[in-house]
Structure 1
Amino acid sequence: MNEPINPARVDFVTLRLFCAVARTGSITKGASACHLALSAASRRLADLEAASGALLLERSAQGVALTPAGHVALQHALRLFHGFEQFSRELQDYSRGVKGHVRLWANMSALTEFLPQALASFLAVHPDIRIEVEEQLSGDIARALVEGLADIGVFAENTPTGGLDVTPFQTDELVVLCAKKHPLARRRRAAFGDCLAHDFVGLNRGSSLLELTSRAAEQAGLPMHLRVQVRSFDAMCHMIAAGLGVGVVPLAACRAQIGALGLKVVHLDDAWARRRLLLASSAGARLAPAAGLLLAHLRALSGSGANADVR
């Protein structure tokens, strides 16, 4: 059984060198980027491989390439650098008089519809707290809360919530968007099953909205033909406007694109089209005072001051 890597044998200079070599495909170029002699760089890389117990780089006359283990090592190295940069940035904030730092992750719907005014009202009372906001997919937000990468999260209700304290936050309306000349454009309302006769534009795999609509199609006993998949609602709207299909989106999150692109809105009769957004933090974790203040503020805006079991 292999022993775990001794942290004392891995330093940031070596990890930065490894990232530079992976990026350039050359030990010589990586060493130059890190201002190291080639012999010193080679020794550091050999020590890193010895410490990890795995071959990280495939060496050839054409340069170097990452092995499967090297790809894993690169992802972890980049995560370490990101964490260190965040650590440095937060400490600098405190030295400048900032009294707290909160990491808030939310899906696009929450960021567009509900959080701007909520954060503005909070920061008006607490101007010395810094809030770092990231837009992420709902499933990624839940995992980040469990792993401690985020303090507070807002995501869609059909996301797994194991290990989280959850409060219902807000409700958004899901609608079908289509181009002006699409057959559905003549309808004001429709059942989702009636829309499944057409091609769809959807979000990429991992999106809670894609999972929700896919499950609704299964319950209707009809396939959902995904013609195009993208990562954002903005991209969805542009694809829909180009006539590549129809798409299910949160109405409020896409109002600007609907007007700008001349899209038609079809309201859904299905009960699931009224979707709850959830406010969450890691179960049992002691939040920093600043994060606790923001969580209480958001809970107050949701109309619920206590946790609710929505799992």
Structure 2
Amino acid sequence: MENLLRKLDLTSLRLFVAVCQEKNIARAAEREFIAPSAVSRRIAEIEAVIGLPVIQRQSRGIAITAVGETVLRHAQAIIANVEALSADLSQFFSGAKGSVRVVANLSSIVQFLPEDVAAFQRLFPAVQIDLEEQHSADVLGAIEERRADFGICNAIAGIEAFESLPYRNDRLSVIVPRGHRLAAAAQVRFADLLPESFVGLRGESTLSKMLAAEATKTGHTLDVRIRVGSLDALCRMVHAGLGIAVVPEQVGQLYVNALDVNLLPLAEPWAARRLVVLFRAREELSASAAALVNFLVPNRDG
């Protein structure tokens, strides 16, 4: 009984199961679209490997021997396991199972991705998503170095090196303490804010760079008194009266009712921003990554 794994093949076992189910070699051959002689040869090969008969040929069909009953039970289990393997693997090809590495900027993570990812996982619960936060410039680097399947960031210089799809639009607003001199304004211009003290984000965030660049265009330097590591901390610093801050509008809206602050739209055209999904090439995406991209950007062109 040594080396059964090498000597018994799945096709022979499948044909043997068919013969046992039909109780007739000719009917089994017809069902499996193969010649009866080929079925008989496969059965003979199984018997040669085992050294014992698995069926008894009769005038009107076959009878299964005790040995054959044992082989049948195991053959059915083997075939069922292979079919289950095939079904599981098909989920990877369809994108229903797998893992996806996504790198995204803070704005997309805070404003949009929690609800979008939750909705996707209700449809694809077997897909594991590894989401990493990075500044927009670092998102480009992660895609270039293949440290992520795709990224989400602001439409900044450099995205033209990749394939990109529109994800969401957001708008920058100013969050100020409720007693601030500008708190009642319907909207504000950036120039009106330059005398103020700001609360900013640590590191080289796209937002920090943009605000510094816009201030420089007018011959000013932003007075950033405090830098923090998150938008939540930034809004709380404003609530405490330690300065004002520019934030994505939907982020600010989360805190207007919870904190003693007001949210004022910025009037500048550059305050309207685009978020994009980008990747090296569509054909390089795994099935799961492609499924998530398609979910996030359902109305893409083409």
TM-score bracket for this pair, using the shorter chain length: 0.5 to 0.7
Contact 1:138–1:159 (CA<8 Å) still a contact in 2? no
* CA distance in structure 2 between the partners assigned to 1:138 and 1:193 by the alignment: 25
How far the C-alpha of 1:248 sits from its partner, in A, is 0.4
Query: Are 2:202 and 1:200 aligned?
Result: no
Contact 2:135–2:206 (CA<8 Å) still a contact in 1? yes
* CA distance in structure 2 between the partners assigned to 1:297 and 1:229 by the alignment: 35
Change (3 A) 1:159 1:236: farther
* CA distance in structure 2 between the partners assigned to 1:140 and 1:151 by the alignment: 14
**1:200-222, CA deviations, whole angstroms, 9 ceiling, x for partnerless residues?**
11112310011111122122332
How far the C-alpha of 1:194 sits from its partner, in A, is 0.8
Instruction: Give the equivalent residue in structure 2 for 1:57.
Output: none
Which amino acid is the alignment partner of residue 129 of structure 1?
Answer: V
2:301 to 287, 293, 305: 305
Query: Are 2:146 and 1:148 aligned?
Result: yes
Instruction: Give the equivalent residue in structure 2 for 1:280.
Output: 278
Change (3 A) 1:278 1:266: same
Percent sequence identity is 33
1:265 is paired with a residue of what secondary structure? strand
Which amino acid is the alignment partner of residue 153 of structure 1?
Answer: G
TM-score normalized by the length of structure 1: 0.62
* CA distance in structure 2 between the partners assigned to 1:245 and 1:160 by the alignment: 33
How far the C-alpha of 1:135 sits from its partner, in A, is 2.2
TM-score normalized by the length of structure 2: 0.64
2:135 to 134, 137, 143: 137
How far the C-alpha of 1:176 sits from its partner, in A, is 0.5
* CA distance in structure 2 between the partners assigned to 1:167 and 1:149 by the alignment: 19
Contact 1:159–1:208 (CA<8 Å) still a contact in 2? no
Change (3 A) 1:151 1:243: same
**1:51-71, CA deviations, whole angstroms, 9 ceiling, x for partnerless residues?**
xxxxxxxxxxxxxxxxxxxxx
**1:5-33, CA deviations, whole angstroms, 9 ceiling, x for partnerless residues?**
xxxxxxxxxxxxxxxxxxxxxxxxxxxxx
Instruction: Give the equivalent residue in structure 2 for 1:181.
Output: 179
Instruction: Give the equivalent residue in structure 1 for 2:40.
Output: none
How far the C-alpha of 1:126 sits from its partner, in A, is 1.8
1:228 to 219, 226, 229: 226
| Contiguous gaps of at least 5 residues in structure 1 | 1-93, 307-311
Instruction: Give the equivalent residue in structure 2 for 1:35.
Output: none
2:101 is paired with a residue of what secondary structure? strand
Q: 1:50-199 residue pairs with structure 2 within 5 A?
A: 99-158=97-156, 160-161=158-159, 163-199=161-197
How far the C-alpha of 1:251 sits from its partner, in A, is 1.4
Q: 1:209-220 residue pairs with structure 2 within 5 A?
A: 209-220=207-218
1:243 is paired with a residue of what secondary structure? coil
* CA distance in structure 1 between the partners assigned to 2:124 and 2:161 by the alignment: 29
Q: Comparing 182-191 with 200-209, which one deviates more in the overlay?
A: 182-191
* CA distance in structure 1 between the partners assigned to 2:234 and 2:207 by the alignment: 12
Which amino acid is the alignment partner of residue 115 of structure 2?
Answer: Q
* CA distance in structure 2 between the partners assigned to 1:178 and 1:159 by the alignment: 30
* CA distance in structure 2 between the partners assigned to 1:122 and 1:184 by the alignment: 41
Contact 2:198–2:245 (CA<8 Å) still a contact in 1? yes
Which protein shows a greater Rg?
A: 2
Contact 2:167–2:277 (CA<8 Å) still a contact in 1? yes
How many equivalent residue pairs?
A: 208
Contact 1:158–1:212 (CA<8 Å) still a contact in 2? no
Root mean square deviation of aligned Cα: 2.0
Contact 1:142–1:159 (CA<8 Å) still a contact in 2? no
* CA distance in structure 2 between the partners assigned to 1:258 and 1:196 by the alignment: 22
How far the C-alpha of 1:168 sits from its partner, in A, is 1.9
Contact 2:176–2:239 (CA<8 Å) still a contact in 1? yes
Instruction: Give the equivalent residue in structure 1 for 2:254.
Output: 256
Instruction: Give the equivalent residue in structure 2 for 1:86.
Output: none
Change (3 A) 1:204 1:280: same
1:266 to 264, 274, 277: 264
How far the C-alpha of 1:272 sits from its partner, in A, is 1.0
Change (3 A) 1:148 1:285: farther
* CA distance in structure 1 between the partners assigned to 2:274 and 2:197 by the alignment: 26
Change (3 A) 1:160 1:258: farther
**1:95-144, CA deviations, whole angstroms, 9 ceiling, x for partnerless residues?**
xxx82100112222212222223223322222221111222222222211
Contact 1:176–1:266 (CA<8 Å) still a contact in 2? yes
How far the C-alpha of 1:177 sits from its partner, in A, is 0.6
Which amino acid is the alignment partner of residue 247 of structure 1?
Answer: A
* CA distance in structure 1 between the partners assigned to 2:224 and 2:142 by the alignment: 28
* CA distance in structure 2 between the partners assigned to 1:158 and 1:194 by the alignment: 26
Contact 1:137–1:206 (CA<8 Å) still a contact in 2? yes
Q: 1:3-22 residue pairs with structure 2 within 5 A?
A: none
